[in-house]
Structure 1
Amino acid sequence: MGILSWRNLVAGLSAMATLSAAALPASADEWRTTSSLIAENAETAPFERYPYVNPDAPKGGTLNSTAFGTFDSFNPFIIRGTPAAGITQVWETLMEQSPDEAGTSHALIAEAFKYPDDYSSATYRLSKDARWHDGTPITAEDVIWSLNVLKEISPQYSGYFANVKEAVALNDHEVEFRFDQTGNRELPHIMGDLYVLPKHWWEGENAKGQKRDIRNPTLEPPLGSGPYKVKSFSPGNRVVYERVKDYWGEKIPVNIGRNNFDELVYTYFQDDNAAFVAFTKGGIEDVRRELSTRRWAVEYKFPAFERGDVIKREFQQGGVQQMQAFVFNMRLPRFQDRRIRKALTLAYNFEEQNRLQFFGMNKRLSSYWENSELASRGLPEGKELEILEPFRKDLPPELFIEEFKLPVFDSRTAERDNLREAVKLFDEAGWAIKDGRMVNKQTGEQFKIEFLGGSPTSEVIAGGLIQTLRRLGIDASLRIVDTSQYVQRYQAFEFEAITAGFPQSESPGNEQRDYWSSKAADSPGSRNVPGIKNPVVDALIDKIIYAKDREELVAATRALDRVLLWNYYAIPQYYQPTMRFAFWNKFGIPEQQPRYIGVDLMSWWVIPQREAAIEESIEVEAGK
């Protein structure tokens, strides 16, 4: 579950869905302060704070970060415009998704919620302390307006909350969400993921007397309710957020020991190489998640690192590993043939790329729910087989009799076999190699693929595959565009091939419609990047959404995973088994970090003496 990324999630995870704090199954009249879909009846103590935080962490200092490309809007809820980095920290959701437990949410704007046994509705009770930065209380009217307008303007929200028939204010601080169905056990919980926006501000006028419109981009700093607000900005170059000194929610459990920095600064760069150089000099980026294995292995030799001002540290990955994959746009006829997609998969030599470019430090992805019980494995059996059986005639026959395995390039023989099989599949699909070119047997047109990239890193990711495709006679190329154009083309599905990410949670649900449904395939801004239109996939999504219990949810998710893999909708790439961070040694860091997301930067704090010493070192180095 989850619409926008959790507001403090540094790894880009979409931690979704929610876990229970009730010692016993709650009745329809029992208010809950924490919710669960994974362990609804688990006995837990009252939630007081996250166990990994330092409740006495001091406030102060600055967290400097980098962002890429540019920005031209403080409105992240629409497709138009490029929103500023960090902007979602200005607002809050009804519940806070936990960084520590898979699928857990705790009270935030809503202090509690309840729902009936048939899951036909959910009632959320707002904290009477919750208020906007201008001092105005947050009310049920704000919640209802937010739901309605976000469903209207956001493709993601319109799908995620599609089954919410109406929201009704029972009083100023209670909202009842009524659903158009019963039996969807996820719906009452995911209402906690709703961002609440200030109706009075968005329907008001700006300083120039112009009426605001949430349907359009804006560079007017927005009114929020969260721990930070926009302090200053330079359009496209830099944005600074300041901690709200009288933040209403500072002492509620989810915020204890967190949000410790006085300022959050984001500076924009056009590519990662320039950002890394800036990091080595200091003062621009304080904490860097290093995604380049080559850089991690051989490029940390600069003066600040050698004198101990910069530290490298690996953190354990938690939860589902994000699927990162090459995606071919099936809205284009030449990628609609499964044989073509399988042939392209056979051309990807991960082993060589990992050895030559990644120092053997990456692992191959083989599931959309890697590193979880939701990943398909072996042959379908038990409840999963029972779910798949009615669709047997519409599925690849090998799905039922073979374990899904990606091609392995561990020898010259394996390489020849994989590429020979790829050529055979192209031939079956109506393509043949003539004069060194893979051409259509009827038209003579050469098979062409243009990969779209947003930075020079795209050359590292796609370069090896492009070279192999050229060996097969395919006209393969890479086009790198600026970040703004890349985002716009990505959202509008204006590409032939691209690298896409599909973050998942351990409790999938309504958001699967946005990822894979036939309807989402034609909705710009949806996460159905490949353009999947498959009735079986649509049916399996419903199986997930209407799962009666955890066992059925796991089986349905494995079935969907298996169908996605065997249809070769994407070529799985790789992931890093640990989270690699480098940071300037000015921080206090809790001994433990959250189990689920691995790193929570908002639980760190600045040690003034170290910060001052590092700033002095930077000045000395710059003066040399």
Structure 2
Amino acid sequence: MKKISVYLFVLLLIITGCRRPQPAGNEVRIRMGQDPENLSPVSYTSKDAAQLINLLYQSLLTVDLADGKLKPLLADSMPTVVKQDSVSFFTYRIRPEATWANGAPVTAADVIFSLKAIKCPLVNNEKIRPDFEFIQEVRTDAADPKKFTLVCKGFTPEHLLMSGERFFIMPEYLGDPQGLLKPFTLRQLQNNFDALTQNPQIAQFAEQFNSADFTRNPEKLQGSAGYILENWTTGQQIRFKRKPDWWGNKTSEAIGHLTANPEKITFRIVPDNAAALVALKNGQLDVWQNVPATIFQQLRQDKTQSGKFQFFTPQTYSFVYLGLNGQSEKFSDPRTRRAMAHLLDLDAIIKTTQQNLAVKTVGPISPADKRFYNSAIQPYAYNVTRATELLLLAGWQKNGSVWEKKSNGQTIQLKLNLSYNASNSEYESIALIFQQAAAKAGIPVALQPLENGVLTKDLKAGNFDGFIRSLTGNPFVFNFKPILHSESIGPEGMNYTGFGTPESDRLIEALYTSNSETEKAKMLKRLQEILHDESNMSFLFFQQDRIVVNKQLGNLKISGIKPGYDVSAFTLQQD
């Protein structure tokens, strides 16, 4: 009898091993690379935290990943917009069904509180506070507590995105139960910011709001979205549970982007990629986003694993580039910068670092956006001979094995210190490929892997020759002023490469306020031409995301917009 039991056990193992990994009940398990540490809607710092916060809190508008369009979420419709001289008015109304976890209605008072928390002195809001200076006040409707108008300074198309989608609405009853912020208006908090740091009520509120209660306590982290925080074991997992009587299920019509389908959603914190791969194969993970390119290709080519999982590679809005210090004597001539661009072997870089899962680009506009991408420009071809010709035209001379030129009475040598984030192996590979190509042209390149904070400090101080980094945009607003306008050059700005011409500045300013698609297309294409000619930034590629999802899950809404899928919409599919 014991022998038969052994045979049956072995048979069960074989049968189980052949099955697709099953989600645990109606629970979706997602890999996270690190603990987010903080889930405050105002002070979170981890780039992955926003996905988790979206399960707890809602904004007025949202991007529906099904089609990439901006749509009403907590608001019942898109706002009405009125422009009047130097002021614009955005009027919203919150959905009548919307309630908090305690059953109380979401009202304009909660919107006002949320903006006050963002603007309040002493609160850990430094990261987002400057983004909302354009909102001057909130006017409520005496006849309708759910209706309000945001009074905004000036008008740009970005105001719609920022006022509707870029801040979370928090419940006043939980965030400020003592009403400490009620006596203060938004204008007072903004205009008297420094003086109010001495106010005892402000200090009391900030102390409470900055405490651990409002960063990780499930009793305080409660919003209007479809989930509550059930459990958080630091460094291991964070679990969310669907609200049993969520208001989103009671709307008068079905809203495809207003969902809370899985009963539980668990983020398992697995820092090591090898351990994550084992967990995925063992059925302990259902979703892995941003899979390393090599692992992704191996999984996709493995017949056993390809039967268990779905594989997606949406093009993102993140691009990788090599920046040069155009403020330095070495790289002040655009011909020298173009020579460096000719030493970038894009085919080798994309194959080696991305397993060919990337798209070449000539600028910060996604090639997938046919309206605005300038397809008439071609990336600089990898060509050592052409690079040498450009160096000679820029006044460089070869003295033995060294490139030299006279500048302000001094002899300078062409050599390059190339900096990048030490924790990013892809950047290291790009740097090595560039180093080898530059050596063929007789240009020594020293690699400088740095901790990210040190790298940022060096970039702000102008203490660099070249660097490798990535930037992430979006398909809604083209605000290049912080990174490309000449006013953003210097320690207070982010235009590290010193790019900027009078024409590019005018284009960037006009783009920020333009509502015309035709005019935007014309301006964006011209801006890409200037960027290409100046070559302060050599744009390498737009990344393709690499997402692996259990085949038992459907309604995924895969998108190039982060996080790449909508987990609240997931449904469990049967074989």
Tell whether the structures are fold-level matches, with TM greater than 0.5: yes
In the alignment, the residues of structure 2 paired with residue 105 and residue 476 of structure 1 have an alpha-carbon distance, to the nearest angstrom, of 48
Secondary structure of residue in 1 paired with 2:320: strand
Aligned to 2:11: none
Distance 1:289 1:367 in 2: 25
- The answer to whether the 8 A contact 2:497-2:536 is kept is yes
Counterpart CA distance in 1 for 2:300 and 2:374 is 39
Map of 1:187-202 to 2, 5 A cutoff? 187-188=159-160, 190-193=162-165, 194-202=167-175
Task: Return the alpha-carbon distance in structure 1 between the equivalents of residues 503 and 127 of structure 2.
Answer: 21
- Between the two proteins, what is the percent identity of the paired residues? 16
Counterpart of 1:468 in 2: which secondary structure? helix
Q: Using a 3 Å threshold, how does the CA distance of structure 1 residues 261 and 299 change in structure 2: closer, same or farther? A: closer
Task: Tell whether 2:421 aligns with 1:477.
Answer: no
CA distance in 2, matches of 1:63, 1:195: 24
8 Å CA contact 1:227–1:259 kept in 2: the answer is yes
Q: 1:245 maps to what in 2?
A: 244
Structure 1 residue 476 displacement after superposition? 2.5
Q: Offset at 1:122? A: 1.5
Please give the secondary structure, in 1, of the residue aligned with 2:223. coil
Task: Spell out the pairing of 1:266-345 with structure 2 (5 A cutoff).
Answer: 266-283=267-284, 285-289=285-289, 292-298=292-298, 300=300, 306=304, 310-314=308-312, 321-328=317-324, 338-345=334-341
Render the CA deviation track for 1:282-339: whole Å, top value 9, x for unaligned.
30x312346544434445566xx5176522434665xx75433234567888666645
In the alignment, structure 1 residue 572 sits paired with structure 2 residue 531: no
Q: 1:279 and 1:531, CA in 2 relative to 1: closer, same or farther beyond 3 A?
A: farther
Three-state SS of the structure 2 residue aligned to 1:542 is helix
2:570 counterpart of 1:604: yes
The yes-or-no answer on 1:585 pairing with 2:554 is no
Aligned with 1:120 (options 84, 88, 91):
88
Q: What is the one-letter code of the residue matched to 1:133?
A: A
Q: Is 1:165 matched with 2:136?
A: yes
Q: Deviations over 1:198-234 (max 9, x none)?
A: 34433459xxx99423599944442322222322223
Contact 1:98 1:106 in 2 (8 A): no
AA aligned opposite 1:346 = H
Q: Any conservation in 1 of the 2:403–2:414 contact (CA below 8 Å)?
A: no
State how far apart, in whole Å, the 2-side matches of 1:487 and 1:261 are. 38
User: CA separation of 1:360/1:178 partners in 2, compared to 1, >3 Å: closer, same or farther?
Assistant: closer
Aligned to 2:33: 68
The residue aligned with 1:229 is 228
Residue 257 of structure 1 and its aligned partner are, at CA, apart by: 7.7
Which amino acid in the other structure matches residue 572 of structure 2? V
Return closer, same or farther for 1:434/1:267 CA change in 2, 3 Å cut-off: farther
Partner amino acid, structure 1, of 2:279: A
User: Does residue 539 in structure 1 map to residue 509 in structure 2?
Assistant: no
Please state whether the residue corresponding to 1:196 is helix, strand or coil: coil
User: Equivalent of 2:425, from 430, 442, 456?
Assistant: 456
Cα distance in 2 between the residues matched to 1:372 and 1:158? 31
Once residues 130 and 492 of structure 1 are traced to their aligned partners in structure 2, the CA distance between those partners, rounded to angstroms, is 47
Instruction: Give 1:94 shift.
Output: 0.6
Q: Give the whole-Å Cα distance in 2 for the aligned partners of 1:345 and 1:166.
A: 48
Counterparts in 2 of 1:472-511, with a 5 A limit?
472-479=442-449, 481=451, 486=452, 496=464, 497-505=467-475, 507-509=476-478, 511=479
8 Å CA contact 2:362–2:528 kept in 1: the answer is no
Q: Are the structure 2 counterparts of residues 229 and 294 from structure 1 closer, same or farther at C-alpha, using a change threshold of 3 Å?
A: same
Decide whether aligned partners of structure 1 residues 335 and 271 sit closer, same or farther in structure 2, where only a CA change above 3 A counts.
farther
**Residues 103-129 of structure 1 deviation map (CA, whole Å, 9 limit, x = unaligned):** 432242455532236583121112243
Does the C-alpha gap of structure 1 residues 255 and 375 become closer, same or farther in structure 2, counting only changes over 3 Å? closer
CA distance in structure 2 between the partners assigned to 1:552 and 1:88 by the alignment? 37
* 3-state DSSP of counterpart to 2:248: coil
How has the CA–CA distance of structure 1 residues 464 and 602 changed in structure 2, closer, same or farther, with 3 Å as cutoff? farther
Are the aligned partners of 1:347 and 1:418 in contact in 2 as well (CA < 8 Å)? Answer: no
Structure-2 separation of matches of 1:135 and 1:80: 30
Mark the CA change 1:82 to 1:129 in structure 2 (over 3 Å): closer, same or farther: same
SS at match of 2:209: coil
| TM-score, normalised by the number of residues in structure 2 | 0.72
Provide structure 1 residue ranges, at least 5 long, that are not aligned to the other structure.
1-57, 379-402, 410-414, 611-624
Larger Rg: 2
Aligned partner of 1:417: which letter? Answer: T
User: Which residue does the alignment assign to 1:384?
Assistant: none
The secondary structure found in structure 2 opposite 1:467 is helix
Aligned partner of residue 39 in structure 2, secondary structure:
coil
Task: Give the residue type in structure 2 aligned to 1:232.
Answer: N
Given that 1:75 and 1:83 are in contact with CA atoms closer than 8 Å, whether structure 2 keeps it comes out as: no
Q: RMSD of aligned C-alpha atoms?
A: 4.3
- Give the Cα–Cα distance (whole angstroms) in 2 for the partners of residues 263 and 529 of structure 1: 44
Stretches of structure 2 lacking an aligned partner (at least 5 in a row): 1-22, 179-204
Aligned 8 A contact 1:260 1:603 in 2 = yes
- Give distance in 2, aligned partners of 1:201 and 1:522: 42
Tell me whether 460-469 or 249-258 shows the greater mean CA deviation.
Answer: 249-258
State the secondary structure of the residue aligned to 1:173: strand
8 Å CA contact 2:237, 2:266 repeated in 1: yes
- Give the conservation status (yes or no) of the 8 Å contact 1:91–1:197: yes
1:543-601 per-residue CA deviation (whole Å, 9 max, x = no partner) reads 12322432223323333333333332422222467x654333332447x8679888544
Partner of 1:352: 348
1:571/1:595 Cα in 2 relative to 1: closer, same or farther (>3 Å)?
closer
Q: 1:562 pairs with 529, 533, 546, which one?
A: 529
Look up the equivalent residue of 1:313 and give its one-letter code.
F
SS at match of 1:195: coil
For residues 151-196 of structure 1, what are the alpha-carbon distances to aligned partners after superposition, in whole Å with 9 as ceiling and x for unaligned?
57667755654433332223432221223336x4553565222422
Find the counterpart in structure 1 of residue 151 from structure 2.
178
CA distance in 2, matches of 1:603, 1:188: 25
